Structure 1
């Protein structure tokens, strides 16, 4: 995945609007140094390619690095660079922030993917749009590194009718005509409908749509609904959403749905990444 250099430089400008005052007053900026990053626990690395952009911009050199998506072990030096102390100290905290937040998301994603696939090897893990504003590009890269895919990258991508949409077009009693109107206007885009109950499902499972998204339906009830749809309209994609976490991912995966839609991987403890400087 590509994140533009301009975006990455903006991350640096937030921390370095002008110059590094501490290094300036100490007069040590011209000294040569090696800077290395290690994680204090096993993790999925993410953001090393973006960190490399900052290293090159600072005029430093990369000694070694792992790729995003690779597993790193405790204490492993997974990103090592050399250059002037000034160049390295200017970028050290931004790089550490990238690693901690992105690798934290990637690691939680990999854990959830692993838990779900242990009981349903074909299942997809799909992440929502509920990222903290301004972090979307790095968040998407992190979930890809962890083995998931974005559910929707934005409102322009797919047609997904939530409860508020359905209410405003006349409810489930009017949903068949609504779908027909959508197809008459945009036959190319996939249509998904969200349902919250067995009654909702009855109104939509025969329709010429791409899929159904079940919202906050418990795993026992969901298993019954998924099996019913498989008999009536087997080509429909079925997704479980609402409250999917690492703790219950396996239960929802066992229901037979095609995918789990989750926000949980975006929120949690960052990876615990340390940085070490050595004078050359």
Structure 2
């Protein structure tokens, strides 16, 4: 899966962060000149993710990649994610950068796949959407990992969608002012949906009246959503409903059956890393 773009400079920055000058251990032991093979294997079932970028790390360091599993491939314990040959110095320079990338990405992809499976089993058709709430610099990796696990992005950046938070309403002066502003700029939203965050049924009704195409409930319980969704859909049948805030694998199925169209979650970005073992042997 190469749908997420990583430029060459990004790959080189990752390598330079770990090995900008000299690998002192390899130099002192004088093992860098011999030919070697490196295999990166996963130690428990998961989903492959960012293997293409791990392969590029090896290639940028001078190694030759023999094999890798495509991102999105389900993997079992001991499956080889990537195998490469080359000078030992080149493989050892790539080693930890590629391993760290795969451990994070495969951990996120595996957790995503488990949540998507749980949601689809409980409520087929309800989507799992991932947010942009993660550490700066991780967006491409987090996005590719969650896509590999079967989720979709909620919002990749503030320029992508219109999403009105209470902070925006406060600056405008309230619901009436928001409705007036959205009506005035409706022509500019011809190709966009307007999403408005709400924390109660009353706020959701205000949001729909103000011109929302989508209401995003923040930190509402599944029980509350079961009470709020039917009257909202009855009054506004074309309104789409999202649940966000506090959603994780343990409660995702409960939220999926609450009446919403999709779940918005940040928890997948913080999944435990996969355990990826690395074996380097001389040829």
CA offsets 1:112-143 (integer angstroms, 9 cap, x no match): 11111111110111111111111111111111
CA offsets 1:32-51 (integer angstroms, 9 cap, x no match): 11110111110111111001
Q: Which residue of 1 aligns with 2:128?
A: 125
CA offsets 1:152-208 (integer angstroms, 9 cap, x no match): 110001111111111222222433213212314443322111100111122122444
SS of alignment partner, residue 118 of structure 1: helix
The aligned runs of 1:201-220 (5 Å cut-off) are 201-220=204-223
Q: Which residue of 2 aligns with 1:175?
A: 178
Unaligned runs of 5+ in 1: none
SS of alignment partner, residue 74 of structure 1: coil
Q: Are the counterparts in 1 of residues 197 and 218 from structure 2 also a CA contact under 8 Å?
A: yes
What do you get for the CA RMSD once the two structures are aligned? 1.3
Q: Which residue of 2 aligns with 1:138?
A: 141
Q: Residue 67 in 1 paired to residue 70 in 2?
A: yes
Q: Distance in 1 between matches of 2:177 and 2:201?
A: 17
Q: Pick from 114, 120, 124 the counterpart of residue 117 of structure 2.
A: 114
Q: Pick from 193, 198, 210 the counterpart of residue 196 of structure 2.
A: 193
Q: Which residue of 1 aligns with 2:158?
A: 155
**The 10-residue stretch of structure 1 (196-205 or 210-219) with the greater mean CA deviation from structure 2:** 196-205
Q: Are the counterparts in 2 of residues 120 and 256 from structure 1 also a CA contact under 8 Å?
A: no
Q: Residue 23 in 1 paired to residue 12 in 2?
A: no
Q: Are the counterparts in 2 of residues 102 and 142 from structure 1 also a CA contact under 8 Å?
A: yes
Q: Distance in 1 between matches of 2:149 and 2:134?
A: 16
Q: Pick from 227, 238, 241 the counterpart of residue 238 of structure 1.
A: 241
SS of alignment partner, residue 180 of structure 1: helix
Q: Which residue of 2 aligns with 1:2?
A: 5
**The 10-residue stretch of structure 1 (93-102 or 163-172) with the greater mean CA deviation from structure 2:** 163-172
Give the TM-score, by structure 2 length: 0.95
SS of alignment partner, residue 110 of structure 2: helix
Give the TM-score, by structure 1 length: 0.96
Q: Which residue of 2 aligns with 1:35?
A: 38
Q: Distance in 2 between matches of 1:182 and 1:215?
A: 25
Query: How many residue pairs are counted as aligned between the two chains?
Result: 280
SS of alignment partner, residue 220 of structure 1: helix
Unaligned runs of 5+ in 2: none
Q: Are the counterparts in 2 of residues 66 and 79 from structure 1 also a CA contact under 8 Å?
A: yes
Q: Are the counterparts in 2 of residues 242 and 262 from structure 1 also a CA contact under 8 Å?
A: yes
